[in-house]
Amino acid sequence: MGPQHPSTHGVLRLVLELEGETVQQARSVIGYLHTGIEKNCEYRTWTQGVTFVTRADYLSPIFSEVGYCLAVEKLLGVEAPRRAQVARVLLMEINRIGSHLVALATGGMELGALTGMTAGFREREEVLHLLEFLTGLRMNHAFVRPGGLAQDLPDGWEERVADFVAIMRKRLPDYDNLLTGQPIWRQRLENVGYLPVDGCLALGATGPILRAAGLPWDLRKVEPYCGYEEYDFDVPVATEADCYARYRLRVEEIRQSLRIIEQAAAKMEPGPVMVEDRKIAWPAQLSIAADGMGNSLEHVRKIMGQSMESLIHHFKLVTEGFSVPAGQVYTAVESPRGEMGFHLVSDGGTRPVRVHVRDPSFVNLQTMPAMSEGGMVADVIAAVASIDPVMGGVDR
């Protein structure tokens, strides 16, 4: 099946050994989307690396940016300012909602629930509109930078975020009416793709797959980062360990993300969004020209009007980048699919020696045979949809 099969998830090939309609053996074949993202990072400065990692798991780009930047900041021994930390949480939770909506929408599409797909992508547009307003881009934002953010949130962000939360709260019950209690939906998902907690742990599965099997493992709670310990939210857990439990879990996680978004908006205090150290703060706060391209003339005048040394420094910082102390580090964030970790190695230069991403889609994809073997071909599709793999992250 695949990689061009209309009911498979992304550019993934499944090799199935069948007896009639029953799956005897299942293997996943990957590599159709390989982009060399990790290798590319080793030929770029530490800041430029953000624009590469954000393209791996393209459904949750903010998480890649934050995880990578937290790793760089750990090597540098710096911490982003308070406002930047809160803004990162705000952006990640908005992104988590968008990612889960795609999981519901594509899962619905693959199982024939086309109204679920159109509803899911309709709400995801709200997410992308909001992210475009906050960061300037719908996807691949490169908005989170080592040391903070590229620039401050735009004027009027509070109203836009509040409007978004209100819209989502109003539309979320539609999913329960449309899917949760729907008999056909339940028949397609209940007792399908079963993977108990010991199987999850043996295969390294994290995220909704692990929590749907009964283990409340969420890095935001067990190993907090970006100040998540200050936020009041629940970690949804189920014990059925099947596709239906994973579906319900994602819907509930959207509700919890809305709670966190409201708290983050309330916590936002005035202040800088980039570290004060001018050797790291890249670039100087940009001021976009009227055509949306390049720097505005006032900004160029400001840079040119400073000393010759500061102009040279600005140029060197952008072209050569800053040096990062030698060492290696691993940091992880809780992405919509599970533990997304970054292993960075520095030799003290302006470029990483090694960038490795522990992508949850890649690890979780190992659970597909365990979920599918012994079941029907139609249930393979439900199982893969419940894993929600993003092949950009798998093949990076």
Domain ranges of the chain: 13-282+321-394
Residue positions counted in the chain: 396
Tell how strand 148-149 and strand 13-19 pair up.
unpaired
* Whether 372 contacts 380, CB under 8 Å: yes
Distance from C-alpha of 11 to C-alpha of 13, rounded to nearest angstrom: 7
What's the pLDDT score for residue 34? 85
Q: What is the pLDDT along the chain (396 residues), one digit of tens a residue?
A: 877 776 666 688 999 999 999 999 999 999 888 889 999 999 999 999 999 999 998 999 999 999 999 999 999 999 999 999 999 999 999 999 999 999 999 988 888 888 889 999 999 999 999 999 999 889 999 899 999 998 889 899 999 999 999 999 999 998 888 888 889 989 999 999 999 999 999 999 999 999 999 999 999 999 999 999 999 999 999 999 999 999 999 999 999 999 999 999 999 999 999 888 878 886 555 566 666 666 667 777 777 777 777 778 778 888 888 999 999 999 999 999 999 999 999 999 999 999 999 999 999 999 999 999 999 998 999 999 999 999 888 988
Decide the pairing of beta strands 13-19 and 22-29.
antiparallel
Instruction: Check: CB of residue 134 under 8 Å from CB of residue 154.
Output: yes
pLDDT recorded at residue 3: 78
Token representation of residue 90: 């705000």
Residues near 270 by beta carbon (within 8 Å), at least 6 away in sequence: 83
Q: What does the pLDDT read at residue 294?
A: 64
Q: C-alpha angle 342/355/32, rounded to 5°?
A: 95
Q: Give the type of residue at 51.
A: T
Residues 13/2, Cβ–Cβ less than 8 Å: yes
Task: Give the C-alpha separation, 179 to 185, whole Å.
Answer: 6
Q: What is the pLDDT of residue 288?
A: 62
Alpha carbon dihedral 164, 168, 170, 176, in 10-degree steps, equals 180
**CA atoms of 123 and 130, how far apart (whole Å):** 11
Write the single-letter amino acid at 211: R
Measured CA to CA, the distance from residue 89 to residue 216 in angstroms comes to: 20
When computed from its CA atoms, the radius of gyration of the chain, rounded to whole angstroms, is 22
The Cα–Cα gap between 139 and 132 comes to 8
Residue 105's pLDDT is 92
Query: Cβ of 242: how many Cβ atoms within 10 Å?
Result: 23
Within 13 Å, how many C-alpha atoms sit on residue 309's CB side? 2
Among 243, 109, 251, 118, smallest CA distance to 188 is for 243
Per-residue pLDDT, 285: 58
Structure tokens at 358: 């522990």
Torsions phi, psi for 143 (to 5 deg): -90, -35
State pTM to two decimals: 0.92
Pick the CATH number of 13-282+321-394 from 1.20.1250.20, 1.10.645.10, 3.30.70.1890, 3.40.50.1820: 1.10.645.10
